[in-house]
Amino acid sequence: MNCSDFKDLIAERVAGELTPELKAEMDAHEKVCPVCQQAVVDWRQMESLLRSSWPAEDPRRSFLLPFPPSRTGWIQTARTWFSLASMAAVTACLFLFALLRPSVHVDRSQLSINFAPARTESGARPSQVVTEAQVQAWVQEAVVQATSQRTEKMPEVTASKATSGGSEEANRTAQLAVQIQMLKENQASLWQQVQQHGLYLQSSWRSPSDQGDLYRKQHSVQP
């Protein structure tokens, strides 16, 4: 190693950044060269002077950048708001469904969507929805019931007519009269039940109170 090579490595030697092999070579040169020896001493002094001449100071302000919200944070915020909005929408739908109680009804080739009425004319909420078909079924049931009652009463009528010696045609007429009377009684009692329970018909868009009139007109039922 000569003085020129030594000069190139002097900074690393002072900083202790040399490999062991290079350090050994420089040590060997330094022992035999007083100029390079003095150069190392001067370098150490100057470096020490420089380092202590200018202490670092704190900046007067921070340089943290005023970043916009991160993309990840934005997505999370959007997800949160979307979840909350979805829950609110579902809750609102359930509330509306419970309030309106819509029902789809197909009657005589006409599609109608009905909503539960808020109140009937009497102020009481109906407890049950009755369709026209149900009323017809009840009437038929009443007829069957009346027929069975007629058969139970028939022996009494037959016996009374037989004792009176009437003709067979007169008996039939008497039976029919009894049957018609019982049917009328049953129809009247059935309609009273319908009115007492606040039931209404659901066959059209008309108001519940009018539906009863409509049914009476169509089927000639006397209240």
If one asks whether residue 155 binds other proteins (CB under 8 A), the answer comes out as no
Residues 54-83 that bind other proteins (CB under 8 A): 54-65, 67, 70-72
If one asks whether residue 52 binds other proteins (CB under 8 A), the answer comes out as yes
> Toward other proteins, which CB reaches closer, 74 or 115?
74
Among 16, 20, 21, 49, binds other proteins (CB under 8 A): 49
Residues 179-208 that bind other proteins (CB under 8 A): none
CA distances from 77 to 51, 67, 68, 88, 89 (A): 50, 17, 14, 17, 18
If one asks whether residue 108 binds other proteins (CB under 8 A), the answer comes out as no
> Toward other proteins, which CB reaches closer, 57 or 169?
57
Among 11, 41, 133, 176, binds other proteins (CB under 8 A): 11
Among 28, 46, 84, 133, binds other proteins (CB under 8 A): 46
If one asks whether residue 152 binds other proteins (CB under 8 A), the answer comes out as no
Quick note: the x/- pattern for other proteins over 13-32, rule CB under 8 A, is ----x---------------
Q: How far is the CB of 43 from other proteins (least distance, A)?
A: 7
204's tokens: 């059209």
118, 119, 120, 123: CA torsion to nearest 10? 180
Q: How far is the CB of 86 from other proteins (least distance, A)?
A: 25
If one asks whether residue 51 binds other proteins (CB under 8 A), the answer comes out as yes
Stretch near other proteins under the rule CB under 8 A, chosen from 2-10, 96-104, 196-204, 205-213: 2-10
Give the CA diameter of the chain: 168
> Toward other proteins, which CB reaches closer, 63 or 196?
63
Residues interacting with other proteins, by CB under 8 A?
Answer: 7-8, 10-12, 17, 42-43, 46-47, 49-65, 67, 70-72
